[in-house]
Structure 1
Amino acid sequence: MASLKQGEFVGSLDCGTTSVRFIVFDKHANIVAQHQAEFPQYYPNPGWHSHDASEIQQFTDICIEKACGELEAAGWSKDSIKVIGITNQRETTVAWSRKTGKPLCHAIVWTDSRTKNTVAHYEHKLQTVGIEVEPGVFKKGAEGVEALRSITGLPLSTYFSAIKLRWMIDNHPEVHEAHESDDLLFGTVESWVVWNLAGGIKTNLHISDLTNASRTLLLNTTTLKWEQSLVDFFGFRSSILPKLVSTSEVYGKIAYGALDGVPIAGLVGDQQGALVGNKCLNQGEAKCTYGTGAFLLFCTGDKIVKSRHGLLSTIAYQAGPDAKPVYALEGSIAVAGSAIKWLRDGMSLISSAGEVNDLAAKEPNTGGVYFVTAFSGLLAPYWDPGAAGLLIGISQYTNPSHLARATLEANAFQTRAIIESMKLDSGTELKHLKVDGGMTNGDLAMQVLADIGGFGVVRPEMRESTALGSALLAGSAIKLFGWDLNEPTTLTEVNTRGSREFIPSMQESTRAKKWEGWQRAVERSKGWEEGVDEEA
């Protein structure tokens, strides 16, 4: 057998909502090896979505081992992987035991809406008690809401991790007891995966990067520290929180398996990872990732832009512990690719996700049908957890192709709603939108996006932007290939293969009429669950 070649590669562990994958990149962002595996999803009640954190870790180990095997089958030594980065589904909340290292309950996924009553409780607390902004000084009512946004950039919502953790403590005796006895460790998925990869209870490397921490409702995005007033507001012990780290530094090493001894040096939430992977590193550049949900990030540079139009202010990345943080405006759509999955699995209209474009292409329009895909409420810029999914405009003329096309248009309408808000907040007109994620494989879906939005849609050839972002952050931490996120010119040779731009072709009058119809449909979907019988 010929000896294996030695090279220089960077690995990225991408822990998504439905699958884990490990991808090995070269210095040009060509994929050298990869392995992906789906893990189980749990839906125990309407609106609930859970993961078994132990299963996520098992599939993480499998993907690393399999990808290393593929790398060696291609003739390269696994020692060619010099560093790895990790990117993850954000907000998904894990609670585990400091003593045993075992999860104390199922993780609550970012899409989960079981915590609506918890949100209502803390909304009431904001109105009546308020937040202690300095010793003995409380802001409540509208001032309290504004204080929360000013500190975190976020509203109170089922979306964010602190609310999910509070529900766990209040509803799982094991979590409550661990919190009271100081045996509880809290983290998002990157915290859990790093803790395990680095040795678990032997090393107790309990960390969280700033991008994930900025999605908890506990981080002060100005000071870059946990905000004690919010830790107290939600009733948490400070000892359960992970140590805060930048998105690009060496945190530790893998303690076992095929990559034993390899440094872990880049951590980033998946959407910020895609922003970096698309090289949207300058103020005014934007990307949208279309996966299970859709997430649009608009880089605002080293300035925090406070949104007045339903968006979030968030940390985009920090390229080293001494670097200035870069910020972004974000708009999140809860349902994007999962609506296509519903057409496949729930309605049996298609047999594979890719078929939605072929089915939709059979009709030139939706026949007047609008599909508000509010399966678990509406996120930005509407923020209505009580909204429900709505198909409206159905007649005897309606056929499956109309429904498929309405599904693609729903994605485009929600993207436009976010971009309209970004224009108002930033004062900047978006010329084009960089896109990635599974939905972008469909040419029709991208043309619909351009037509509804009225802007150019740029799709790169290599669309694993989320994984690439964590790889760039990890490589930058050890200056592999000369990469340096603080000097974007060092990335000019990364992912430079051709891209395609989709140009709007719809008449402006048609676009305006359809936009008006969408807004009417959204209004009809809002607040639906408030009047629904509990048995439903």
Structure 2
Amino acid sequence: MATPRILALDQGTSSTKAVLFESDGAVVARASRPLASSYPRDGWAEQDAGAIWDSVQGAVADIVAQAGAEGIAGLAIANQRETLVAWDAETHRPIAPAILWQCRRTAEACAALIVAGHDARARDLTGLGINPLFPASKLGWLLRHVPTAKDLLARGRLRAGTVDSWLLWNLTGGAAFATDHSNASRTQLLDTARLEWSEELADLFGASLAALPEPRPSDSRFGETAPNATALPAGTPVLAMMGDSHAALYGHGVRAPGIVKATYGTGSSLMTLTPRRIASAHGLSGTIAWSTRAGGPAHALEGNITVSAQAAAFAAQLLGLPDAAALSDLAQTVEGSEGVTFVPALAGLGAPHWDDRARGTLAGLTLGSQPAHVARATLEAIALQIADVLAAMEQDLGQRLDSLRADGGASANDLLMQLQADLLDRPVIRGEVAEVGALGVATLAFASLGVEVAGGEGRTTTFTPRMDPARREALHRGWRAALDRVLHHAP
């Protein structure tokens, strides 16, 4: 009898990837479909939820065309987090564009809740400080501003959830409406101690629990594919779901506290397991890393950076370069940024600063500044933001974290990884499996079938610090000064 295979869907902000894994973790086939985001107003960020589903169907069809459907024992889903999708349960169609995790349209509403003194209670229940990143305020906004939302809610037809629940709904033809505990913990509507939706929080944000999916352990059998939903046979089970950052931590083989990983994507997430549910005092979030039916929830600390590798694409466009790879090539033509500092607060600043009013700045320019110095400063900014979050994580944990595990598309950039090691003054270990998030959620799906996949990311490359300490300190000093000019000073 052939060993089972798992098809992992890694649904991200810029693309949907599908990866077919053997039970030993080997990759059988890969496929990818691009996605576009739109920014219709200052601070707004959206995607077409229908296009997200189309990209999944296309990626699955590509896998089946390459490798066939035989032996695929189930699906596993890793997804972009905090993006809110709302749809009509009868027509199965979105009622509005998906509100992306980057969107800041609810910044004023969140600020008013903080001023009114509700932040501490939200942190107690969820581990998350009130912020427009999280779907709670987005659902409240949708119910206030999209007329069909209130009507559908009254008629029992409104469905709203993170991207995993939207994909599950479509995969099962509407038979399953559920999410996993890792994604639910990022909504700011889940009481993470009780693992239940909180009526108190729904009232606070003007949301409604009646529209939300059922939260379940991450290794649940969530449902089965409907006829003609995808190129897979009907009845293929969905065996695991996790937020993409959580799945990456799992894919690194992390099962106990002491290791921190950073995912370098459109934004970045640093995450480390904690022995229990803890509250951050330094601008981070408490979250559920994953949960299992047998073991219950695993807890973690996380720091979310709003604009990370996206800063490189943004700077490349400003400089007239074709892409981020060309920006990196340009950055390598100079030894340093020569005092130029770029703060990529292009959608506010996330952890550990949390300033939605912050705007991006270039500082330190002189007549001698060249495009190459701006390119170098952009890569330094990505690494310096990571360094800020790691420092906050160490303060919360009360211990030093001796290395960093790196994954995500931008981690393939050797210059960036070397800069990261230099600015952290500790090794950065990059796994050579590109799809570590897909591997993580596939590993959990295999485990639900009683199949153990060797943990960890296989072959690795280690970048060791080699920057002169005085230069490192000068870069950190310049970064802190640039941040001080940006933080909390916007009109």
TM-score by length of 1: 0.88
Residue type matched to 2:81 in 1?
R
Query: Which residue does 1:337 correspond to in 2?
Result: 309
**Mapped contact 1:284–1:428 kept (Cα < 8 A):** no
Query: Which residue does 1:487 correspond to in 2?
Result: none
Residue type matched to 2:265 in 1?
G
Alpha-carbon separation, structure 2, partners of 1:35 and 1:151: 39
Q: Give the Å deviation of 1:439.
A: 0.8
Residue type matched to 2:85 in 1?
V
Query: Which residue does 1:47 correspond to in 2?
Result: 43
403, 408, 422: which one aligns with 2:379: 408
280, 291, 310: which one aligns with 2:254: 280
Return 5+ residue gaps in structure 2 as ranges.
none
**Mapped contact 2:136–2:188 kept (Cα < 8 A):** yes
Residue type matched to 2:45 in 1?
H
Query: Which residue does 2:170 correspond to in 1?
Result: 196
Query: Which residue does 1:90 correspond to in 2?
Result: 81
Alpha-carbon separation, structure 1, partners of 2:150 and 2:318: 36
**Mapped contact 1:288–1:295 kept (Cα < 8 A):** yes
Residue type matched to 1:91 in 2?
E
Query: Which residue does 1:491 correspond to in 2?
Result: 454
Query: Deviations 1:292-312 (Å, cap 9, x if unpaired)?
Result: 0111001113x0121100000
Query: Which residue does 1:314 correspond to in 2?
Result: 287
Q: Does the residue aligned with 1:249 lie in a helix, a strand or coil? A: coil
Q: Does the residue aligned with 2:16 lie in a helix, a strand or coil? A: strand
Residue type matched to 1:71 in 2?
A
Q: Does 1:508 align with 2:476?
A: no
Query: Which residue does 1:460 correspond to in 2?
Result: 431
Query: Which residue does 1:27 correspond to in 2?
Result: 23
Residue type matched to 2:470 in 1?
S
- Mapping for residues 53-92 of structure 1, pairs under 5 Å: 53-72=49-68, 78-92=69-83
Alpha-carbon separation, structure 1, partners of 2:475 and 2:141: 40
Query: Which residue does 2:107 correspond to in 1?
Result: 116
Q: Does 1:163 align with 2:126?
A: no
TM-score by length of 2: 0.96
**Mapped contact 1:94–1:189 kept (Cα < 8 A):** yes
**Mapped contact 2:23–2:446 kept (Cα < 8 A):** no
Q: Does 1:17 align with 2:8?
A: no
Query: Deviations 1:466-505 (Å, cap 9, x if unpaired)?
Result: 11111111111112xx22xxxxxx635x642x21110111
Q: Give the Å deviation of 1:64.
A: 0.3
Query: Deviations 1:226-283 (Å, cap 9, x if unpaired)?
Result: 1121122223332111111111121111113322221101100010011001112111
434, 447, 454: which one aligns with 2:418: 447
Alpha-carbon separation, structure 1, partners of 2:392 and 2:189: 25
Q: Does 1:363 align with 2:353?
A: no
Structure 1 122/146 Cα, relative in aligned 2: closer, same or farther at 3 Å?
Answer: closer
Q: Does the residue aligned with 1:430 lie in a helix, a strand or coil? A: coil
Alpha-carbon separation, structure 1, partners of 2:317 and 2:23: 39
Query: Deviations 1:56-89 (Å, cap 9, x if unpaired)?
Result: 11111111011111114xxxxx122111100110
Q: Give the Å deviation of 1:460.
A: 1.1
Q: Give the Å deviation of 1:176.
A: 2.5
Alpha-carbon separation, structure 1, partners of 2:316 and 2:226: 41
Residue type matched to 1:457 in 2?
V
RMSD: 1.5
**Mapped contact 1:388–1:527 kept (Cα < 8 A):** no
375, 393, 403: which one aligns with 1:432: 403
Q: Give the Å deviation of 1:118.
A: 1.9
348, 367, 382: which one aligns with 1:377: 348
Query: Deviations 1:10-51 (Å, cap 9, x if unpaired)?
Result: 110111001111110122322210110112322211221111
Q: Does the residue aligned with 1:304 lie in a helix, a strand or coil? A: coil
Alpha-carbon separation, structure 2, partners of 1:89 and 1:295: 11
113, 116, 126: which one aligns with 1:152: 126
Point out the more displaced range, 515-524 or 234-243: 234-243
Q: Does the residue aligned with 1:47 lie in a helix, a strand or coil? A: coil
- Mapping for residues 122-133 of structure 1, pairs under 5 Å: 122-124=113-115, 127=116
473, 488, 491: which one aligns with 1:527: 488
Alpha-carbon separation, structure 2, partners of 1:152 and 1:52: 28
Residue type matched to 1:19 in 2?
S
Residue type matched to 1:93 in 2?
L
Q: Give the Å deviation of 1:7.
A: 5.0
Q: Does 1:248 align with 2:192?
A: no
**Mapped contact 2:311–2:382 kept (Cα < 8 A):** no
Bigger Rg over Cα: 1
Query: Deviations 1:282-330 (Å, cap 9, x if unpaired)?
Result: 11111000010111001113x012110000000001122x422111100
**Mapped contact 1:388–1:528 kept (Cα < 8 A):** no
Alpha-carbon separation, structure 2, partners of 1:29 and 1:478: 14
Query: Which residue does 1:134 correspond to in 2?
Result: none
Alpha-carbon separation, structure 1, partners of 2:106 and 2:436: 31
Q: Does 1:328 align with 2:300?
A: yes
Residue type matched to 1:22 in 2?
A
Q: Give the Å deviation of 1:177.
A: 2.1
Residue correspondences, number: 488
- Mapping for residues 132-281 of structure 1, pairs under 5 Å: 141=117, 144-200=118-174, 203=175, 205-256=176-227, 257-260=230-233, 261-281=235-255
304, 311, 314: which one aligns with 2:277: 304
**Mapped contact 1:13–1:22 kept (Cα < 8 A):** yes
Structure 1 80/346 Cα, relative in aligned 2: closer, same or farther at 3 Å?
Answer: farther
Q: Does the residue aligned with 1:122 lie in a helix, a strand or coil? A: helix
Q: Does the residue aligned with 2:105 lie in a helix, a strand or coil? A: coil
The 4+ residue runs of structure 1 with deviation greater than 4 A are none
Alpha-carbon separation, structure 2, partners of 1:11 and 1:192: 18
Alpha-carbon separation, structure 1, partners of 2:319 and 2:97: 28
- Counting aligned pairs with the same residue, the percent is 35
Residue type matched to 1:115 in 2?
T
**Mapped contact 2:136–2:207 kept (Cα < 8 A):** no
Query: Deviations 1:365-395 (Å, cap 9, x if unpaired)?
Result: 1010110000010000000001100100011
Alpha-carbon separation, structure 2, partners of 1:406 and 1:159: 26
Alpha-carbon separation, structure 1, partners of 2:23 and 2:194: 34
Point out the more displaced range, 44-53 or 174-183: 174-183
Q: Does the residue aligned with 1:59 lie in a helix, a strand or coil? A: helix
Q: Does the residue aligned with 1:513 lie in a helix, a strand or coil? A: helix
Return 5+ residue gaps in structure 1 as ranges.
73-77, 128-140, 484-489, 532-536
Residue type matched to 1:102 in 2?
R
Alpha-carbon separation, structure 2, partners of 1:445 and 1:191: 34
**Mapped contact 2:316–2:326 kept (Cα < 8 A):** no
